[in-house]
Structure 1
Amino acid sequence: MSKVKVARFASQVMIITILSKLMGFWRDALIAKEFGTTYETSAYMMSLNVSSILFGLMGLAITTTFIPMLTRSLREKGKDDMYEFGNTVINIIIILTTIIGVLGWKFAPQIVKIVACGYTGEIYDLTVQLTRLSVINVVFIGLTSGYTAILQTMDNFAAPSLVGVAMNICIIIYLLFTKNTTIEGLTIATIIGNGSQILVQIPWLIKNKYKYSCKINFKDPRLKEMMTLILPVLIGIGINQINTLVDNNVASNLNEAAVSVIQYANRLNSLVYGIFATSIITVIYPTLAKYINAGEIKEDFKKYLSKAINNINLIMFPATVGIIVLRTNIISVAFKRGVFDEKSVEATAIALLFLAIGTGVLGIRDIYNRAFYAIQDTKTPMKNSAIGVLTNVVLDITLVKFMGVGGLTLATTISIFVSTVLLALDLRKKIGNIDAVSVLKSGFKILVSSVMMGLVVYIINTNILKYVSGNKGNMLSLMICAVVGSIVYAIAINILKVEEYHDIKKYLLSKIKTK
């Protein structure tokens, strides 16, 4: 895939993702207004976590290992053969997820006891009830992941990006147009939203002449190969789910609001990450897989890796600094209304502070993981995931005693740093140097520029809030800080001659000239 195509596809994904994340932001604001950080919200979010634990790990594992296999099938035997193999995997997903869903419904009380051991009485009963409603989500998550892999293999990134939009529309409609909202109703709206994620991809599948078949070819050698690759990925992602399990268990023992506080902080943090980092990773990964399958592992592979890391740093470093400095403003504007009060803002701000620190590094870690998956090494990420989780568990138990909810999010951030460093060292052993000097040099310049921007934003924000209080002051400060901060950052990276910034500037100027 050419640089122009990568830029075009990444731009498409980013635009749709921005729309999806803004709608998600609106969705969360509506949920916060209706339910705040009450026990009902914690029960709802915990029930969604159960669905994620039951099959969320499988969804990512399928996408990760499915794409390289589909790419090879498309290149060697054509589209029809790729669809035949794709249908085999899709049908296996349907069978597996149905079984998992039935077991999840049957053993919901026991599962909730494991994932939220601190829940008792009313909150426990409600969580079990919502979990039983939500287990059908595992089928929808599995099918969405399978069809996403097929479309991305065909260089169609727009449709998979729209799944979040479809999901959010269903929930927002429920919250806006229902007079007496209930947490059970919200759960049902979420289920409908998950189902719509499959439906939204169908027009693009039809456009690419995909036809569903219920046949399963168990003798297909690619199936065995995929199972061999998927097992370490499953174990690695499953190990990461232990992070969620431990975080939720420890949080559920703090207070009834702790789980929802962490979830709100996660949602805000993932807003920025999802818009920028995910957009780049989504487009880069199939390209890396194609280079490997075509035997072009050396220079082009390394070049894409270093460029991807630098581009993520260019966006994520200033975004991280902005979140840290303006976290209270952001939370207040987003959620402070209805049941979500000042106490909720303060608790969420503490969680977000420590979580945001690791956001930029999280993007680098995910790129390293995709690099290993592209070269069909799924064991190394699994090993490093285990080390990261062990680090997180030890720090969770240690830091929560002194820092409460903030200790949990700080533990997550430290574990991300540890696993990223280990992945970088292992990747160097595997494929050699990926121009680390360029990455470090560019990263340092971007970090300096981001800190300069952060200092200016901090001064502006402090002075505005002296004269304008409440959400009016927060909103005014966010708008002014966004504009001034962007200008300061652009000037700084221009003066420091950050290569990626100049590449983007040249690309945009060339597009303007052609018009």
Structure 2
Amino acid sequence: MSVRIKKSFFVPILVTMGLVAGFFREILIAYYFGTSREVEIFRVAFALPSILSESIAVSVVSVLIRNLVPMRRGSFMSGLRQVVWGGGLIATGVTLLGIVSMPAQALLLAPGISGAQRELLVMIGRICWVMSLFVIMALPLRALMSVRGRVWPGASSTFVRSAAFGIVMIALITAAGETAISFAASGAVAGGLAVLVLHALALAPTDRRRIALTFFKRPSLDEMYTIPAAVMSVIVTQLFLSGGRMIDRAVASTMHPGTLAAVEYSYAILMAAAAILATSSNIVLAPKIAKNISRSGMHPNIPRQFKLAIFGICACAVLIGLSLTFLARPVVSCVLERGAFTESDTILTAEILSLHALALGPLVCSLILTQIVILRDMQGYLLGVAVVKFIIKAVALAALLEAGFGAASLPLSLLVAECCMMLSLFGVLARLSHQRCRPV
């Protein structure tokens, strides 16, 4: 096998390893904490720091890369200063805001958790925000290496983060001889720090020196605030895209203890299946679609073979989702039922998963269509789609709760929201096609 072929498989292998490690992290959490109130506190505390670090990484790196593309020495160093200082400003600002506003987050995101448990939630949340500081600080380094053609550190970030999380959490629990949710929060911080250290070590010595030089000359205020302003749209879009899940946590916190945890474990299984299908598909299809767009001058029509491939992948996702619906209990039992995760936890989680799985087809389709919109450099449309999805999710959830569906309202409203997002993305692509094909 040639070196080129080996390299083409390297990044997908790292991404897959990250997905596996992330899922293994969920298994560890289930083993040690089951569906206890402690793990529900961690889920809520970990949510926003995770969204504002890991989930926005790819989009933020794309924004940062634009400032690094000019490779003449003077313009490159100017862009590097903007990236390093702008990235630092984002990391510091997001982290400080998260730490200071943690009491308000606890009230808004988990109204069903009160008293001493809310105080614990605030403390765990503040620890988790330190994780986001490290992860966001690594993004400028990741952008610089992407410009250099070295993408493996970014591709391995999820694996390193999840592996460090698990190792540190197990070590602390073993050393203490007891389980405490603060150990999971410490594992999260260790994961963020590991990502930053990985990127720092992976830098070429020349680039490491250039980054050190940026600290001696601060860019102008206009230059420094350009990047945070651009990143804000990415953050707002991601918050709306993830808003439905945050609503689910808030509602589940008011239900019977264990419901929130069961919803999160079900989400983990659903998203693992979606990530494997959508990520593997995007790895294969995205470069080919990008080349087609480049050759055709951003012509909106997607070749028929790509449409058939997308249809086949989505149809496969629907079938897998239906299979999970009928096999939810044995799947949950096989994957999670050990340690603190008991048979009653399996029954509760399986009830949620059997309905969550119905959304797998639309979810995978939405992920693939989102990538196509991004490839066409039409990210601006995603904010509108995200807002629509959030509103529909909230309205559907309220209607289902009012109708008496109880905990089933959470996964059913996800199905409605994902179907609407899929249709919205189809509408965006159809509108672009109509506009660009219209005769001048």
Deviation of 1:184 (Å): 0.9
1:137 correspondence with 2:138:
no
Structure 1 CA distance for aligned equivalents of residues 255 and 268 of structure 2: 20
Deviation of 1:380 (Å): 1.7
State the partner residue of 1:406: 408
Aligned positions, number: 425
Counterparts in 2 of 1:9 and 1:78: CA distance versus 1, 3 Å: farther
State the partner residue of 2:343: 342
- 1:69-118 deviations in Å (ceiling 9; x for gaps): 26xx63x6469856752552232121222123223222321221111111
State the partner residue of 2:91: 97
Deviation of 1:390 (Å): 0.9
Structure 2 CA distance for aligned equivalents of residues 204 and 314 of structure 1: 40
Deviation of 1:371 (Å): 3.0
Q: Which amino acid aligns with 1:124?
A: R
Contact persistence 1:10–1:280 (CA under 8 A): no
- 1:452-501 deviations in Å (ceiling 9; x for gaps): xxxxxxxxxxxxxxxxxxxxxxxxxxxxxxxxxxxxxxxxxxxxxxxxxx
State the partner residue of 2:103: 109
State the partner residue of 2:188: 190
What secondary structure sits across from 1:263 in the alignment?
helix
Pairing 1:143-154 to 2, within 5 Å after superposition: 143-154=137-148
Deviation of 1:348 (Å): 0.9
Deviation of 1:197 (Å): 1.5
Q: Which amino acid aligns with 2:379?
A: T
Structure 1 CA distance for aligned equivalents of residues 153 and 305 of structure 2: 24
1:52 correspondence with 2:33:
no
Structure 2 CA distance for aligned equivalents of residues 222 and 170 of structure 1: 32
- 1:439-462 deviations in Å (ceiling 9; x for gaps): xxxxxxxxxxxxxxxxxxxxxxxx
Contact persistence 1:9–1:157 (CA under 8 A): no
What secondary structure sits across from 2:204 in the alignment?
helix
What secondary structure sits across from 2:194 in the alignment?
helix
State the partner residue of 2:20: 22
- 1:131-180 deviations in Å (ceiling 9; x for gaps): 12111122123234444444445554432221122122223223444133
Structure 2 CA distance for aligned equivalents of residues 161 and 180 of structure 1: 34
Counterparts in 2 of 1:157 and 1:279: CA distance versus 1, 3 Å: farther
Q: CA RMSD in A?
A: 3.6
State the partner residue of 1:272: 273
State the partner residue of 1:85: 79
Q: Which amino acid aligns with 2:238?
A: I
State the partner residue of 2:114: 120
- 1:366-392 deviations in Å (ceiling 9; x for gaps): 233233333333332111211111110
Q: Which amino acid aligns with 1:409?
A: P
Deviation of 1:415 (Å): 0.5
Q: Which amino acid aligns with 1:40?
A: E
State the partner residue of 1:415: 417
Structure 2 CA distance for aligned equivalents of residues 385 and 297 of structure 1: 24
Pairing 1:79-478 to 2, within 5 Å after superposition: 85-177=79-171, 178=174, 179-206=177-204, 211-212=210-211, 213-214=214-215, 215=217, 217-218=219-220, 224=226, 230-281=231-282, 296-298=297-299, 306=307, 309-310=310-311, 312-313=313-314, 316-401=317-402, 402-431=404-433
Once the two structures are aligned, what percentage of the paired residues are identical?
Answer: 18
Gaps of 5+ in 2: none
Deviation of 1:264 (Å): 0.8
- 1:300-357 deviations in Å (ceiling 9; x for gaps): 9767964773574376345434433332122111211222112211111122222222
State the partner residue of 1:42: 40
TM-score, structure 2 normalization = 0.83
Counterparts in 2 of 1:57 and 1:165: CA distance versus 1, 3 Å: closer
Gaps of 5+ in 1: 435-515
Structure 1 CA distance for aligned equivalents of residues 356 and 161 of structure 2: 25
What secondary structure sits across from 1:136 in the alignment?
helix
Counterparts in 2 of 1:291 and 1:357: CA distance versus 1, 3 Å: same
Structure 2 CA distance for aligned equivalents of residues 168 and 81 of structure 1: 37
Deviation of 1:46 (Å): 0.9
Counterparts in 2 of 1:417 and 1:207: CA distance versus 1, 3 Å: farther
Counterparts in 2 of 1:431 and 1:149: CA distance versus 1, 3 Å: farther
Deviation of 1:277 (Å): 1.5
Q: Which amino acid aligns with 1:429?
A: R
Counterparts in 2 of 1:304 and 1:131: CA distance versus 1, 3 Å: farther
Structure 2 CA distance for aligned equivalents of residues 219 and 209 of structure 1: 24
What secondary structure sits across from 2:340 in the alignment?
coil
Q: Which amino acid aligns with 1:348?
A: T
Deviation of 1:125 (Å): 1.8
Contact persistence 1:324–1:356 (CA under 8 A): yes
What secondary structure sits across from 1:240 in the alignment?
helix
Q: Which amino acid aligns with 2:395?
A: V
Counterparts in 2 of 1:94 and 1:221: CA distance versus 1, 3 Å: closer
What secondary structure sits across from 1:181 in the alignment?
coil
